[in-house]
Homo-oligomer: A and B are copies of this chain.
Amino acid sequence: MTTQQQTQTQAVTAETRAEVQQFYAVHMQLLDNGAIDAWADTFTPDATFSVPTLPEPMRGRAELAESLRRTTVELAAEGVRRRHWHGMVAIFPEPDGSLRVRCYALVFSTKLGGEPGLHRVCVCEDLLVREGGSLLVHRRHVTRDDLP
């Protein structure tokens, strides 16, 4: 990617950026609050979500909700709170109106009565699409800095 190409892809409007930032804030707060069904609804019905610890991407809202509900229950039983934090959000609008996003993602983990901790440093690559006026995640690919 040359600097010229980057410049050309940087034509993301302030409105789009504001919308993406609001989307991620609400999206992650739903997850961290344990509002798993509402969180799953911020993906398209046929969304895929790949992580380095699973051999195949998760597919669809039901599978996403099931997986993250399990994690939420386990963390609650251990008295642990997680905070997912996106930053350095680079947005690349596609001609069809979808948005490619590449950003950094931190996960903080704090046990009740314990010290706050940095749990993960990740890179998150999303394809966001607009359906019914709202942004939704259509495809997510997460890598972890501690894993190949």
Query: What residues make up the interface of A, taking CB atoms closer than 8 Å to B?
Result: 1-3, 6-7, 10, 12-19, 21-26, 28-29, 35, 38, 41-42, 81, 83-91, 102-104, 106, 108, 110-121, 132-134, 145-148
Contacts and interface: CB of A to CB of B under 8 A. Distances in A.
B22 A18 contact: no
A121 B6 CA distance: 28
Given A83-B104, A90-B25, A117-B118, A18 B13 contact: yes
B146 A115 contact: yes
A86 to B, nearest CB: 7
A108 B110 contact: no
A81 B123 CA distance: 11
